[in-house]
Amino acid sequence: MRFIVSTSVLLKQLQTVNGALSSSTVLPILENFLFEIKENKLTISATDLQTSMVTFLQVEAKEEGKIAVPAKILLETLKTLPDQPISFIVDLQTSAIEISAGDGKYKLSGENAEDFPKIPVIENASSVELSSSVLLESINKTIFAVSNDELRPAMTGVFCQINPDETTFVATDAHKLVRYRRKDIKASAANTMILPKRALALLKSSLPADEEPVSFDYNATSAFFKFGTISLICRLIDERYPDYEAVIPQVNPNKLTIDKSLFLNSLRRVVIYANKTTHQVRLKIVGSELHISSEDLDFSNEAHERLSCQFEGEDLEIGFNAKFLIEMLNNLDAEEVMLEMSTSNRAGLLTPTVSDENEDVLMLVMPVMLNTQG
C-alpha cells in the first residue's frame, strides 16, 4: 500500500480526529489511527470505543489497503516537518510502515487493521439538519453546567429534547442548571437523548464557526454528526434524566435587572476576598441598590461594592457561589440580565433581558446558606 500526501494537509486532518483517541487505554490498538486507502481517498478513523471520529482526504495512491498507524509518533513527526509531499509505503504482510519526506526516512511498525474496532454505522436513524453555528451555540450555552460526577451518569451529559416545533438542551450538576431552547432546530418526530460531554467537547473544538450545514442523525444507542469531511459518532448515555422542570421555581416576585458587565466585573473582584472553599458572595438588594460583599474570616479579608440596579419586589439578602454566577454570566450574550428570586433559600433564575427570536435561555443557580453575622 503506497500513497503520497502533503504534510500540512495530513497533519490538519489528524489533529481534528486525534481528540477521539483514548488517553488511558488497556487496548493498545486504540492508540492508533486507522488508515484506509480506496480510490485515491484516505479515510482516517480514531476511537475510544465510546466516541469515534472519521475524516477523509484525497491522496495520490498506488495501491489500496488499510493499516493501523501509531498516533503519537506520527503526529510528533509531522509537527516538526515543513510543508512538503510525504510518501507512505506499507507492507501489509508485516505491518511495517516506511515514511519518506525530503531527505528523511522514518520506519515504524503499525498494527493489523483487522484488530481495529469497527466504527458504528447509522441504522434506523432519525435526522435533523442544522447549521454549525447553531449547534456550536447550543453546546457553548450548556456544556459548562454538565456534571463530572460519575456516580450520577445521567448528569454527565447534555439532555436533548427534540420536538417538531423546537429543541431543548439541558445541563445540570445539581448546583446550577441551564435550559436552552432553539426554535430553529426541529424534527418530524419527538425524541429525547443524553449526549455525553466528551463528544460535545470534541464537536466544540472541530465545528467551523460559520453556517456550514451539519447533519445530525440519531437512533436508540448512538448519535452521528457529519459536517465537511468530518463525522463524529458517539454512544448515548443510557440513563433517565432527572425531572429538571420540577426544580425551576415558577413564582419569582423579586426581579433584579442589571448591566451584565458591571455585575460580572464586580463579582470577579469581590470573589477574590471570599472564602476559597465556598466562594460565597452576599447579594443584598435595597431599593435600587445592589450591595455585593464577601468575607474570608480566616484571613480577615473582606470586600464590599455597591451597584445601581432596577429592582421590583421586597428587599432581599441572598448568598451565592460567585464562581457559578461568573460562569453563567460569561455564557450569556446580553448587555442586561435579570436575576429572578423568590426567597433566600430558593434557586435564582438568570436570563438575558433581550434574546434572539430563535433562542430562549434560562440559567438556574442554587443559593448558599448565609452565616448570620455581618
CATH number of the CATH domain containing 221: 3.10.150.10
In this structure, is residue 305 part of a structural domain?
yes
User: pLDDT value at position 23?
Assistant: 75
- Asked if residue 329 and residue 255 are part of one domain, the reply reads yes
Q: Are 110 and 130 within one domain?
A: no
Q: Are residues 146 and 219 in the same domain?
A: yes
The strand order across the sheet containing 213-218 reads 65-70, 32-38, 41-47, 51-58, 230-235, 222-227, 213-218, 126-131
Inter-residue long-range contacts of 86-91, CB under 8 Å, 24+ positions, other chains counted = 86/4, 86/5, 86/6, 86/7, 86/10, 87/2, 87/3, 87/4, 88/1, 88/2, 88/3, 88/4, 88/5, 88/35, 89/1, 89/2, 90/1, 90/2, 90/35, 90/65
- pTM to 2 decimal places: 0.92
* pLDDT in the model for residue 155: 97
Q: Judge if 207 and 310 occupy the same domain.
A: no
pLDDT for 373:
47
- CA 40 to CA 22: how far, in whole Å? 28
Contact predicate 257/311, CB 8 Å: yes
Q: Quick check: is 48 in a domain?
A: yes
In a domain, 120, yes or no: no
- Of 51, 47, 46, 37, which Cα lies nearest the Cα of 4? 37
Alpha carbon distance 42, 36 (integer Å): 6
Q: What is the dihedral of CA 265, 270, 273, 275, to 10 degrees?
A: -100
Same domain, 218 and 142: yes
- 288 and 253, same structural domain? yes
Quick check: is 184 in a domain? yes
Strand pairing class (65-70; 85-91): unpaired
Do 83 and 137 lie in one domain? The reply is: no
**Residues 167 and 254 both lie in one domain:** no
Tell me whether residue 374 is in a domain. Answer: no
Q: What is the dihedral of CA 335, 341, 256, 183, to 10 degrees?
A: 30
Q: Among 227, 245, 263, which residue terminates a domain?
A: 245
**pLDDT at site 372:** 54
Asked if 309 and 336 touch (Cβ cutoff 8 Å), the reply is no
Grid cell in block for residue 239: 440513563
What's the grid cell of residue 347? 434557586
Residue span of the structural domain in which 285 resides: 248-368
Asked if residue 262 and residue 233 are part of one domain, the reply reads no
Predicted confidence at residue 370, as pLDDT, reads: 79
Domain end point (choices 228, 245, 262): 245
Q: Is 66 domain-assigned?
A: yes
Q: Write out the chain's pLDDT in tens, 374 residues.
A: 999 999 999 999 999 999 999 877 788 999 999 999 999 999 999 999 999 999 999 999 988 999 999 999 999 999 999 999 999 999 999 999 999 999 999 999 999 999 999 999 989 999 999 999 999 999 999 999 999 999 999 999 999 999 999 999 999 999 999 999 999 999 989 999 999 999 999 999 999 888 899 999 999 999 999 999 999 999 999 999 999 999 999 999 999 999 999 999 999 999 999 999 999 999 999 999 999 999 999 999 999 999 999 999 999 999 999 999 999 999 999 999 999 999 999 999 999 999 888 999 999 999 998 765 44
- The residue from 214, 229, 245 where one domain ends is 245
261 and 330 share one domain: yes
Q: Which three cell numbers stand for residue 122?
A: 447509522
Overall domain count for the chain = 3
Residue 187 lies in a domain: yes
Q: Are residues 27 and 105 in the same domain?
A: yes
Same domain as 91, residue 130: no
Residue 54: inside a domain: yes
d(CA 252, CA 314): 11
CA distances (Å), origin 103, targets 80, 90, 153: 14, 19, 52
